[in-house]
Structure 1
């Protein structure tokens, strides 16, 4: 029941009740009060009254659609006054955009991120339809929902078909070590899994969601797909076990392929496994397709059979104490014979006082003649009868304590011995093989969690029941070694006891209890694998991290993964075609399950060590050292069982990881790897802050200043191409832009500009960061970027921008001021500046240029370029030859291959064109002073003068004897009246002679340098694809005096002359 406060009117008694006797004393308080009660004409003052009336004031408002975001539209404005007069007037401004607290808490308490089917999604999209009632998944208790399904998977094909063989081959001690190693790995993983399960809501998909939400989409997708393959191949392993039980122990006569010779028996068995396995797979796939509820109904029957089988084993062990079962074995020397084609374990027998050969004699001698030549080993050894199950108190446990590994063909025997009726190993046995074969039997925990996580009431019971599930295996190892003869334990298929299942010979009351129970146990485990694997694939597909798997995210209307089931059945068929249980078990299921276990433990350890805020598991027995130990055990078992399969599994996971990373996993799940990257980045930034980088480790860290048009689109995308080519993905790149205005009004434009810049960076393959700044003016914004872009020691040291190409036609002199101020600020910040001219003509990332670039100035940042021509300027007193040698030696130490050339410039090289060009520039300043114009008119007049005389820059540079232009139009009056300049009285030669008599001022020398350098560069590198030039320093004039504008224009004119007739140029400030 919720509590509400409601404002109700209450009458006062003569103004004493409900009113303040001294209202003037509280005038200040009344101004600050949220509620401002005022007396009405009737003397009624509203006061607060406590009311317990739930869902009356504000609850159930139709505007609420989400506990986090209120999806409102224009039609909801009529409902905005539904909150008027409520008890939360303090927050009435937020009522229309925020949900009620009670509704928010209710939705948060019932929050679930379980995946929905198509039918549920369609109903969720229908806003006008009735609200769908929440259907709770059927929950099962700890015993039925956790313990018995785990028991069915653990006590399955390996226990019934291979555990006796493992005990007889590895011995009791090593078998206990194998069981303990594998169960410890599973137990530690169960602890980690319980920690993750108690850390929040984990939807169906189980371990995949654990890993992906903890380690990120790359690890989650890679390990999830590998674990899917492992679960699928585990299904084929269970199906092969089912068919082996069917054809070997239940109905051997049902075999389609029958071997006519003994050497063809293995091939015939494998072919029968393939045919019957395919049919069994199709039948199980149909059952799973019909519905999981039928699988659950069948699971109860299968579980009952498993329980009866386990009980019959323990009952048989107890019976051996009083009356051991009679299962004799025939031994020839120390070799076990297959008891199929003879009835008596004798070479000869006495019948009517005559010595008669037996069927066993005929098998080894080929005839029943007493004088026939028999096998040497048969002739030299006697046959004996040994009881296969001597009993619990027989003392056989001491003989079975140690290992007895054998090769597939006994050493020293002739090739004919393998065709004798001996019980031999079909594969060479060793300890690591036993680990790989046994480990899939303890993977029932993960298979259970995939399919049954929604039905588990308490996730912590996984750990407790996992410990109990390992008890039957541990006790079985000891009991098998204490009751059964070692040679019978090493008989994998029970050929020495007339084809009976070895573990069945121990059971009571009949071996058929074990045979039927193991058959249904394998069937149930196969069904669970075929049920869980498609759901795991569907969960991966719905996350969208692997694009080509998205088709498998669809299914039937109720969410059943139809397409994923088809793919699972197809992959499972591959394992069935292998047809060998011993070949399938240690490969795919073992390695992929171990990899999944490893990353579950790694996820917990990483989350704990990083102290991520959302990692707060309620499981009290968890500690990160247990997860680390479990991870180490998983890695060790992977290489112990099969090192080459472990490498293959890791290679597959690595390829999937790189594929997801390449396709761009844009999922943000709050995973631990993000936190690990954050910690690593913080640590690296702190270390970078300690000391500046050494000169030899210097590399350009770029701040790229982009220009955007009115639609917030990038004007010069080739500037990003140049950035990519310069950086090649190395170092820091910050792409920035400045928007004029205030952030409150430019918020939407700022986000749009950032999106457009990121799209252009992606298109041009520029790896870096995007930063959009909103400032009151362009100059301040660029200044802020130059000063504050970057973080800590990871800051830019170079600014890259495009040359203002329309500065001659631009009527706004502020653009020139901004450009010059950018140069000044980068110089003041001790940063390099790169200005790319004609950047739109620069090559793209796909273009390949074969000609080497040319440089002038020898800027060290261009060390990334493999071949260069470097030009340097020599003064009057410099030794050009020595300068060239020094520069060549410097490049040698830098290990750069470049052609060096020294350009000598003399004072008498100043041309008439240079004097005329400089004179026109200086006359502008004098004229503006005399005109006494305002600042705005002065700027406009300066631009007009410059535009009128732009044609003067097109004179011939190569011909030093050419004269300047004959007419120069100037503006002399304030009324903008143009007059024709006085004609020259002297001829061209006199004008040239007068100009050479002028004093070479600084501006003339600067213009001369620009012209001379331009001549050299054009002559040497006019056809070069890229020319790098040192940028002349900016004018020192600051403030708003008359010379400022002209100095800015003069600086730009110098740069224009410097790179005249060059298509692709980058000017640099070191």
Structure 2
């Protein structure tokens, strides 16, 4: 050491400035490196002249305080001078670093992500047992014990016996210097350890890829599910080898390590998240046998992995999470032929139950009111919907918001008509998908159509998520003398909706209503506001105008006044009322005598 700066031990044999030889003092090779002449009156480097040369222990030991010195980060840029903390040194304020090639310099830029990438390979084998669980006799017993023992062993080895390459002790491995009987023991052991880790990945990763491909989780990877007759994953092994070769061709462990660490951290984060969610949601099929397991450990592991990802590199973390999200959405829409369960579905179920309980706590406020539709349709003999435009109107009224239940009634018994009910339900689902109606479908069977419709009206919905509006088409052929039952059933439906305090929408000539693909470039939506219903008749055309079919139509509000009423004041009041409702509409007052109003 020169002062607090370690020296490269090449070019000199004696670690001293001068030596006593006989009756005189002679300079050493070290003197010649830092001075212009080998004589004692030579001009030397200022730092060399002001500081002494000393020895320090190359392998300091655990009790030397080296662990405390390295506890906190002290990252260096490439080319920075390495200095030993705690050794006295004399430096001038304007000293210029000379002879830098004689000092130990940082050969690379060090940062937190790099150090994580160096240590992280010691824990990347945590999933090795799970990846080869099919080859274990008792996976439930072997995986926990093997995983804990493997992680404990590798962590202790990496912490206590680090293998720093470089200028450790005369250019040799530090641990190799201590090895018995020869330093080659460490070299050979490191070589076989590296080969073992690589072979472990080459045997575990292809099997995992083959299992994913055979299950059809990711359809684009199905080709890698093929293998030899004995089950060896040939194609998956080739893919793994190609990925490994790409890492080798990059030829920089410093560049590859952070990327691998990020994806490993993300994998472990999702594993911990899945375990914690399964425990918190109390999923019946989640029964871990490891008796020391607790959901808090999984949550802590997930938090640490997520934190470490963003500490290492927020950019890489966001990119990795975007890739993972894209894969998840791809699997959700195009893959997952085999349903193995989904933690997100469990969360949705718990959230839905909580929301339903909250909705049932009290009645909805009038400001939050919107039509929650129960759409009653009829089917023909082939269980096809007879009024498909009724669902088009539903889509135009709802635009995917709120509750929609599409129901139909069948006459007969449940045991005899169950196949017809299934066909009717499939027909409803298909039509709802075609008309882009988001909601639920329900088929009710009873001894007659009247009772089946009544049951549907009473039993639809769940808890606070109930319908408040019934949409039904005007009955066909109601004037024909031989079809009294149709209009009688309709009148009973009107009476029941009134008794249940439900709104009733009855479109007439529903076949003439526009489909979702049509567009009105002009026109009016006329509202005859005869009964003051609190504003529902104003709300319906407003909702229709939110849909692209009716968007360019204008609203006209017609109200009826008697001859002795103040028509001008009525129009003014109604205009003010619409202004406060923030509804843009034309107002017309129609004056009629009382007898005409009654008609």
Under TM normalisation by the shorter chain, which class is it? 0.7 to 0.9
Matches within 5 A, 1:476-495: 476=157, 479=160, 492-495=164-167
Match of 1:892 in 2: 579
Query: Is 1:397 matched with 2:64?
Result: yes
Look up the SS of the partner of 2:200 in the other structure: helix
Query: Is 1:706 matched with 2:377?
Result: yes
Whole-Å separation in 2 of the counterparts to 1:366 and 1:575: 48
Task: Report the CA distance shift for 1:667/1:462 in structure 2 as closer, same or farther (over 3 A).
Answer: closer
Look up the SS of the partner of 1:630 in the other structure: helix
Deviations 1:387-415 (A, max 9, x none): 5236x5xx862244322623114389979
Match of 2:557 in 1: 871
Whole-Å separation in 1 of the counterparts to 2:169 and 2:470: 86
Which of these residues, 171, 174, 177, is aligned with residue 502 of structure 1? 174
Whole-Å separation in 1 of the counterparts to 2:265 and 2:556: 60
Look up the SS of the partner of 1:756 in the other structure: helix
Whole-Å separation in 2 of the counterparts to 1:771 and 1:534: 46
Whole-Å separation in 1 of the counterparts to 2:143 and 2:587: 75
Look up the SS of the partner of 2:131 in the other structure: helix
Query: Is 1:828 matched with 2:499?
Result: yes
How many Å apart are 1:519 and its aligned residue? 1.6
Whole-Å separation in 2 of the counterparts to 1:343 and 1:795: 91
Higher mean displacement: 693-702 or 558-567: 558-567
How many Å apart are 1:379 and its aligned residue? 6.7
How many Å apart are 1:697 and its aligned residue? 0.5
How many Å apart are 1:795 and its aligned residue? 1.0
Match of 1:657 in 2: 328
Deviations 1:1020-1070 (A, max 9, x none): xxxxxxxxxxxxxxxxxxxxxxxxxxxxxxxxxxxxxxxxxxxxxxxxxxx
Whole-Å separation in 2 of the counterparts to 1:366 and 1:539: 71
How many Å apart are 1:847 and its aligned residue? 4.8
Match of 2:222 in 1: 550
Which of these residues, 172, 184, 198, is aligned with residue 512 of structure 1? 184
Which of these residues, 416, 419, 422, is aligned with residue 748 of structure 1? 419
Look up the SS of the partner of 1:901 in the other structure: strand
Matches within 5 A, 1:773-812: 773-804=444-475, 812=483
Q: Contact 1:451–1:528 (CA<8 Å) still a contact in 2?
A: no
Q: Contact 1:337–1:423 (CA<8 Å) still a contact in 2?
A: no
How many Å apart are 1:701 and its aligned residue? 0.9
Task: Report the CA distance shift for 1:827/1:553 in structure 2 as closer, same or farther (over 3 A).
Answer: farther
Q: TM-score, normalised by structure 2?
A: 0.80
Deviations 1:233-274 (A, max 9, x none): xxxxxxxxxxxxxxxxxxxxxxxxxxxxxxxxxxxxxxxxxx
Match of 2:129 in 1: 448
Whole-Å separation in 2 of the counterparts to 1:859 and 1:721: 20
Deviations 1:535-565 (A, max 9, x none): 3233333333433333433344444434433
Q: Contact 1:688–1:792 (CA<8 Å) still a contact in 2?
A: yes
Q: Contact 1:575–1:584 (CA<8 Å) still a contact in 2?
A: yes
Q: Contact 1:336–1:422 (CA<8 Å) still a contact in 2?
A: yes
Task: Report the CA distance shift for 1:745/1:792 in structure 2 as closer, same or farther (over 3 A).
Answer: same
How many Å apart are 1:758 and its aligned residue? 1.4
Match of 2:276 in 1: 605
Whole-Å separation in 2 of the counterparts to 1:634 and 1:505: 36
Matches within 5 A, 1:664-1063: 668-804=339-475, 812-840=483-511, 842-851=513-522, 853-856=524-527, 857=529, 858-864=537-543, 865-866=545-546, 868-876=554-562, 877-906=564-593
Whole-Å separation in 2 of the counterparts to 1:824 and 1:415: 99
Which of these residues, 324, 336, 343, is aligned with residue 6 of structure 2? 336
Whole-Å separation in 1 of the counterparts to 2:367 and 2:502: 17
How many Å apart are 1:568 and its aligned residue? 3.4
Task: Report the CA distance shift for 1:624/1:833 in structure 2 as closer, same or farther (over 3 A).
Answer: same
Task: Report the CA distance shift for 1:401/1:689 in structure 2 as closer, same or farther (over 3 A).
Answer: closer
Q: How many residues align?
A: 566
Whole-Å separation in 1 of the counterparts to 2:238 and 2:155: 38
Look up the SS of the partner of 2:415 in the other structure: coil
How many Å apart are 1:804 and its aligned residue? 4.5
Match of 1:581 in 2: 253
Whole-Å separation in 1 of the counterparts to 2:155 and 2:223: 44
Whole-Å separation in 2 of the counterparts to 1:640 and 1:611: 33
Task: Report the CA distance shift for 1:710/1:501 in structure 2 as closer, same or farther (over 3 A).
Answer: farther
Whole-Å separation in 2 of the counterparts to 1:372 and 1:680: 83
Unpaired runs of 5+ residues, structure 2, are 82-93, 530-536
Whole-Å separation in 2 of the counterparts to 1:760 and 1:664: 24
Q: Contact 1:591–1:638 (CA<8 Å) still a contact in 2?
A: yes
How many Å apart are 1:699 and its aligned residue? 1.2
Query: Is 1:590 matched with 2:261?
Result: yes
Query: Is 1:647 matched with 2:318?
Result: yes
Q: Contact 2:126–2:150 (CA<8 Å) still a contact in 1?
A: no
Unpaired runs of 5+ residues, structure 1, are 1-330, 482-488, 908-999, 1009-1070
Whole-Å separation in 1 of the counterparts to 2:485 and 2:215: 52
Q: Contact 1:345–1:384 (CA<8 Å) still a contact in 2?
A: no
Task: Report the CA distance shift for 1:646/1:366 in structure 2 as closer, same or farther (over 3 A).
Answer: farther
Task: Report the CA distance shift for 1:369/1:662 in structure 2 as closer, same or farther (over 3 A).
Answer: farther
Look up the SS of the partner of 2:357 in the other structure: helix
Q: Contact 1:406–1:425 (CA<8 Å) still a contact in 2?
A: no
Whole-Å separation in 2 of the counterparts to 1:725 and 1:417: 82
Deviations 1:685-709 (A, max 9, x none): 2222221111000111111223333
Decide which structure has greater helix share. 1
Matches within 5 A, 1:266-665: 331-339=1-9, 342=11, 344=13, 358=29, 384=54, 386-389=56-59, 397-403=64-70, 405-408=74-77, 409-410=79-80, 422-430=104-112, 434-435=115-116, 437-452=118-133, 454-457=135-138, 459-472=140-153, 475-476=156-157, 479=160, 492-587=164-259, 589-663=260-334
Look up the SS of the partner of 1:585 in the other structure: helix
How many Å apart are 1:520 and its aligned residue? 1.8
Q: Contact 1:346–1:360 (CA<8 Å) still a contact in 2?
A: no
Q: Contact 1:433–1:642 (CA<8 Å) still a contact in 2?
A: no
Q: Contact 1:738–1:782 (CA<8 Å) still a contact in 2?
A: yes
How many Å apart are 1:582 and its aligned residue? 3.1
Q: Contact 2:17–2:53 (CA<8 Å) still a contact in 1?
A: no
Task: Report the CA distance shift for 1:495/1:398 in structure 2 as closer, same or farther (over 3 A).
Answer: closer
Deviations 1:57-81 (A, max 9, x none): xxxxxxxxxxxxxxxxxxxxxxxxx
The higher relative CO (CA closer than 8 Å, separation ≥ 6) is in: 1
Look up the SS of the partner of 1:869 in the other structure: strand
Higher mean displacement: 372-381 or 549-558: 372-381
What RMSD, in angstroms, separates the aligned Cα atoms of the two structures?
4.0
Q: Contact 1:598–1:634 (CA<8 Å) still a contact in 2?
A: yes
Look up the SS of the partner of 2:408 in the other structure: strand
Q: TM-score, normalised by structure 1?
A: 0.47
Whole-Å separation in 2 of the counterparts to 1:614 and 1:515: 48
Whole-Å separation in 1 of the counterparts to 2:236 and 2:287: 34
Deviations 1:30-70 (A, max 9, x none): xxxxxxxxxxxxxxxxxxxxxxxxxxxxxxxxxxxxxxxxx
Task: Report the CA distance shift for 1:661/1:627 in structure 2 as closer, same or farther (over 3 A).
Answer: same
Whole-Å separation in 1 of the counterparts to 2:98 and 2:262: 38
Task: Report the CA distance shift for 1:799/1:663 in structure 2 as closer, same or farther (over 3 A).
Answer: farther
Whole-Å separation in 1 of the counterparts to 2:391 and 2:42: 93
Matches within 5 A, 1:150-165: none
Whole-Å separation in 2 of the counterparts to 1:338 and 1:731: 76
